[in-house]
Amino acid sequence: MPPLRASGPLHLYVHIPFCIHKCHYCDFNSHEREKPDWQAYQHGLLAELKYWAVTVPFANQHINSIFFGGGTPSLAPPSLIASVIRASGDLFHLDDDAEITLEANPGTVDAGNFEGYRQAGVNRLSIGVQSLNDTELGWLERIHNRRQAIAAYHAGRETGFDNINLDLMYGLPDQPLQAWFDSLQTAISLGPEHLSCYQLTVEPHTRLATSHASRPYPLPDDDLALSFFQQTRQQLQQAGYQAYEISNFSRPGRACRHNDGYWQYHDYIGIGAGAAGKCNTPDGGIIRYSNIRTPERYMATASAEACAINTRESLDSQKAAAEAGWLALRRTAGIERSLFRQRFHRDAWQYFSNQLDPWHKQGMLNVDDRGIRLTENGLPLADAIAASVL
Amino acid sequence: MSKHTANQAYTRNFSIIAHIDHGKSTLADRLIEETGALSEREMKKQVLDSMDLEQERGITIKAQTATLDYPASDGNNYIFNLIDTPGHVDFSYEVSRSLQACEGALLIVDATQGVEAQTLANVYLALENDLEIIPVINKIDLPSADIEEARRQIEEVIGLDASDAIAVSAKTGEGIQDVLEAIAARIPAPENRNDQQLRALVVDSWFDPYVGAVALVRVFDGVLKKGDRIRLMSLATASSYEVQDVGVFMPQPVSCPELASGSVGFMIAGIKQLADLKVGDTVTLERNPTSEALPGYREPKPMVFSGMYPVDSGDYADLRDSLEKLNLNDPAFTFEPENSSALGLGFRCGFLGMLHMEIVQERLEREYDLDLITTAPSVIYRMHLTDGRNFETSNPSEFPDPATIERIEEPTVTANIFTPEEFVGTMMKLCQERRGTQQNMTFIGQGRVMLTYMLPLAEMVIDFYDKLKSLSRGYASMDYELAEFQESDVVKLDVLVHAESVDALSLIVHRSIAESRGRELVKKLRELIPRQQFDVPLQAAIGGRILARETVKAVRKNVTAKCYGGDITRKRKLLEKQKAGKKRMKSIGSVEVPQEAFLAVLKLGEGN
Interface check A383 vs B, CB under 8 A: yes
Contact call for A276 and B578, based on CB within 8 A: no
Q: What distance in Å separates residue B313's CA from the closest CA in chain A?
A: 22
Interface check B576 vs A, CB under 8 A: yes
For position B58, what pLDDT does the model report? 43
Q: What residues pair up with A373 in beta bridges, in sequence order?
A: A366
Taking 70 as the threshold, does the pLDDT of residue B45 lie above it?
Answer: no
Interface check B439 vs A, CB under 8 A: no
For position B38, what pLDDT does the model report? 56
Taking 50 as the threshold, does the pLDDT of residue A6 lie above it?
Answer: no
Work out the percent of chain A whose per-residue pLDDT is above 90.
Answer: 91
The closest CB to that of B572, out of A274, A323, A380, belongs to A323
Please provide residue A321's backbone torsions phi and psi, each rounded to the nearest 5 degrees: -60, -40
The closest CB to that of A380, out of B557, B566, B578, belongs to B557
Query: Which range has highest mean pLDDT (A87-91, B155-159, B401-405)?
Result: A87-91
| Secondary structure of A37-57 in HEC code, one letter for each residue | CHHHHHHHHHHHHHHHHCCCC
Cα–Cα distance for residue pair B414/B438, rounded to 1 Å: 10
Interface check B558 vs A, CB under 8 A: yes
Which B residues, 504 through 533, put their C-beta within 8 Å of a C-beta on chain A? 533
Please provide residue B234's backbone torsions phi and psi, each rounded to the nearest 5 degrees: -80, -15
Which of helix, strand or coil describes residue B87?
coil
Contact call for A288 and B562, based on CB within 8 A: no
The answer to whether residues B373 and B389 touch, using CB atoms and an 8 Å cutoff, is no
Q: What distance in Å separates residue A38's CA from the closest CA in chain B?
A: 22
Cα–Cα distance for residue pair A103/A122, rounded to 1 Å: 10
Chain B environment of A278 (Cβ under 8 Å): 565, 568
Interface check B557 vs A, CB under 8 A: yes
For position B605, what pLDDT does the model report? 55
Cα–Cα distance for residue pair B238/B224, rounded to 1 Å: 19
For A71-108, the pLDDT digits (tens) are: 999 999 999 999 999 999 999 999 999 999 999 999 99
Chain A environment of B533 (Cβ under 8 Å): 362, 381, 384
Query: Which range has highest mean pLDDT (A26-30, B159-163, B245-249, B397-401)?
Result: A26-30
Taking 70 as the threshold, does the pLDDT of residue B88 lie above it?
Answer: no
Contact call for B566 and A390, based on CB within 8 A: no
How far the first Cα of chain B sits from its last, in Å, is 64
What average pLDDT does the segment B417-434 reach? 92
For residue B223, what pLDDT band results from cuts at 50, 70 and 90?
very high
Interface check B208 vs A, CB under 8 A: no
Q: What distance in Å separates residue B533's CA from the closest CA in chain A?
A: 8
The closest CB to that of B564, out of A200, A259, A274, belongs to A259
For A173-227, the pLDDT digits (tens) are: 999 999 999 999 999 999 999 999 999 999 999 999 999 999 999 999 999 999 9
What average pLDDT does the segment B303-314 reach? 87
Determine which helix (DSSP H) or strand (DSSP E) holds A212, and give its type and residue range. Answer: helix A207-214
Q: Which residue of chain A has the CA closest to B578?
A: A387
Contact call for A276 and B568, based on CB within 8 A: yes
Mutant choice from B555, B563, B567, B574 vs A, greatest count of A C-beta within 10 A: B563
Interface check B580 vs A, CB under 8 A: no
For position A160, what pLDDT does the model report? 96
For the residues of B360-396, what is the DSSP string, one character each?
Answer: HHHHHHHHS---EEEPPPEE-EEEEETTS-EEEE--G
Q: What distance in Å separates residue A50's CA from the closest CA in chain B?
A: 21
Which residue did the predictor score with more confidence, A27 or B54? A27
Query: Which range has highest mean pLDDT (A160-169, B338-347, B387-396)?
Result: A160-169
For position B532, what pLDDT does the model report? 86
The answer to whether residues B153 and B449 touch, using CB atoms and an 8 Å cutoff, is no
Contact call for A246 and B561, based on CB within 8 A: yes
The closest CB to that of A387, out of B557, B564, B579, belongs to B579
For position B212, what pLDDT does the model report? 84
Chain A environment of B564 (Cβ under 8 Å): 69, 259, 262
Does the predicted TM-score (pTM) go above 0.90?
no
Chain A environment of B565 (Cβ under 8 Å): 11, 13, 262, 268, 270, 276-278
Which of helix, strand or coil describes residue B529?
coil
Work out the percent of chain B whose per-residue pLDDT is above 90.
Answer: 43
For position B123, what pLDDT does the model report? 84
Interface check B568 vs A, CB under 8 A: yes
Note the residue count of chain B: 608
Contact call for A381 and B557, based on CB within 8 A: yes
Contact call for A201 and B533, based on CB within 8 A: no
For position A7, what pLDDT does the model report? 53
Taking 60 as the threshold, does the pLDDT of residue B61 lie above it?
Answer: no
Contact call for A379 and B559, based on CB within 8 A: yes
* Burial grade of A60 (CB within 10 A; 0-12, 13-18, 19 or more): exposed
Q: What distance in Å separates residue A386's CA from the closest CA in chain B?
A: 8
For position B103, what pLDDT does the model report? 95
For position B591, what pLDDT does the model report? 86
For residue B90, what pLDDT band results from cuts at 50, 70 and 90?
low
Q: What distance in Å separates residue A230's CA from the closest CA in chain B?
A: 10
Of B72, B558, B246, which is closest to residue A384 (Cα–Cα)?
B558
For residue B53, what pLDDT band results from cuts at 50, 70 and 90?
very low
Taking 70 as the threshold, does the pLDDT of residue B603 lie above it?
Answer: no
Which residue did the predictor score with more confidence, B420 or B125? B420
For residue B22, what pLDDT band results from cuts at 50, 70 and 90?
confident
Which A residues, 286 through 345, put their C-beta within 8 Å of a C-beta on chain B? 288, 290, 313, 323, 326-327, 330
For position A3, what pLDDT does the model report? 39
Q: Any idea which of A252-266, B36-50, B443-457 has the lowest mean pLDDT? A: B36-50
Contact call for A383 and B568, based on CB within 8 A: no
For position B344, what pLDDT does the model report? 86
For position B64, what pLDDT does the model report? 64
Taking 80 as the threshold, does the pLDDT of residue A275 lie above it?
Answer: yes
- Domains contained in chain A, CATH given: 10-263 (3.20.20.70)
Q: Residue A141 — left, alpha, or beta (φ > 0 → left; ψ -120 to 50 → alpha)? A: left
Separation in Å, CA B439 to CA A122, B157, B431, B450, B455: 88, 16, 11, 11, 10
What average pLDDT does the segment B37-52 reach? 49
Cα–Cα distance for residue pair A131/A140, rounded to 1 Å: 9
Determine which helix (DSSP H) or strand (DSSP E) holds B562, and give its type and residue range. Answer: none
For position B47, what pLDDT does the model report? 45
Which residue did the predictor score with more confidence, B603 or B259? B259
Query: Which range has highest mean pLDDT (A39-48, B333-342, B551-560)?
Result: A39-48
Chain A environment of B559 (Cβ under 8 Å): 229, 246, 379-383
Interface check A268 vs B, CB under 8 A: yes
> Counting one residue from A and one from B, how many pairs have CB atoms under 8 Å apart?
93
Interface check B486 vs A, CB under 8 A: no
Chain A environment of B575 (Cβ under 8 Å): 326, 383, 386-387, 390
For residue B465, what pLDDT band results from cuts at 50, 70 and 90?
confident
For position B587, what pLDDT does the model report? 78
Q: For all residues of chain B together, what is the average pLDDT?
A: 85
The closest CB to that of A198, out of B562, B576, B579, belongs to B562
Q: What distance in Å separates residue B523's CA from the closest CA in chain A?
A: 19
For B173-208, the pLDDT digits (tens) are: 899 999 999 999 999 999 999 999 999 999 888 888
What average pLDDT does the segment B412-418 reach? 90
Q: What distance in Å separates residue B589's CA from the closest CA in chain A?
A: 14
What average pLDDT does the segment B339-354 reach? 87
Interface check A278 vs B, CB under 8 A: yes
Q: For all residues of chain A together, what is the average pLDDT?
A: 94
